[in-house]
Amino acid sequence: MKPKILLYDIEVSRDIVAGYGPTYEFKVVKTIQHQQLMCFAYKWLGDKKVSYVSRHDFPTYKKFVQFLAYLQNEADIVIAHNANRFDNKMANRFFLKEGIPPPSPYKSIDTLQVARSKFKFQSNSLRALSDFLELGEKEKITYADLEDDFMTDEPSRKTLRLMKKYTQMDVVLLERIYLKLRPFISNHPNVADLAQSDHMCPKCQSYDVEKRGFIRTRSGQRQRYQCRGCSGWSSEATKKGNGRLVNA
Ligand SMILES: [Zn+2]
């Protein structure tokens, strides 16, 4: 079975708080409204369609949040920029708050962590990486400007349109960045294991892997491969060479 890989990006509102004091030492006395899920965009890797989901499209907030849980539930792997420290955790927080049970366990790929751990970029933000790698048009994003209107019951059509455009664009860029970084991801979830298939690249599911040297250890050597599809490196899991490839 082909693994289902979900690329997603959530937009979350600010906390609204009451308090007093000068800006630089403002004292929060009370939270009037906690952060909420505003909207998100998603795409299944390999599909052309980029979908957008807004809180305004659902009869209740809970049903909206439930839809995100449904998507994660369907996914074997989820990918987001800052997935491990933001998107996945924020999603869990919304599920818990709305009384939604956890989605089935998934593996996570965080393109921000990959950017930080494998490269030295000037900035690791999604937009900065897209500019640097020339993956998309430059656009000045002002989610903060859209938020106030978006969170009202009757936001303007312009706000809704721009929010949709920007959020979808982030997922398009996320996919491009992921595909660019993929061969460098050494701990990529093994998609060949998920597909239960031998002789398959553990990163991109291609069977077009080429023998390229060996991994040598004291107990012997294992065949090493490079994928002609994604350029990622892998090796036989055992020195006997049973065709199960793992990340090298
Ligand atoms: Zn590959």
Q: Where are the domains of the chain?
A: 5-184, 191-247
Q: 116-159, pLDDT tens digit by residue?
A: 999 999 999 999 999 999 998 666 667 888 999 999 999 999 99
Distance between Cα 180 and ligand 1 center (Å): 12
Distance between Cα 145 and ligand 1 center (Å): 41
Distance between Cα 204 and ligand 1 center (Å): 4
In this predicted structure, what is the pLDDT of residue 50? 98
Report pTM: 0.95
Nearest to 76 by CA among 187, 194, 229, 234: 194
For the domain covering 5-184, report its CATH number.
Answer: 3.30.420.10
Distance between Cα 156 and ligand 1 center (Å): 45
Distance between Cα 208 and ligand 1 center (Å): 8
Identify the residue whose tokens are 């991109």: 204
Which residues hold their Cβ within 5 A of ligand 1, which is an ion?
Answer: 201, 203-204, 206, 227, 229-230, 232
Residue 169 pLDDT grade (very low, low, confident, very high; cuts 50, 70, 90): very high
Distance between Cα 201 and ligand 1 center (Å): 5
Instruction: Kindly state the tokens that stand for 76.
Output: 């074997």
In this predicted structure, what is the pLDDT of residue 1? 83
Q: b/e for 78-94, b at 16 or more Cβ within 10 A?
A: bbbbbbeebbbebbeeb
In this predicted structure, what is the pLDDT of residue 139? 66
Q: 63-114, pLDDT tens digit by residue?
A: 999 999 999 999 999 999 999 999 999 999 999 999 999 999 999 999 999 9
Q: Are 37 and 68 in contact (CB under 8 A)?
A: yes
**Averaged pLDDT of the chain:** 95
In this predicted structure, what is the pLDDT of residue 125? 94
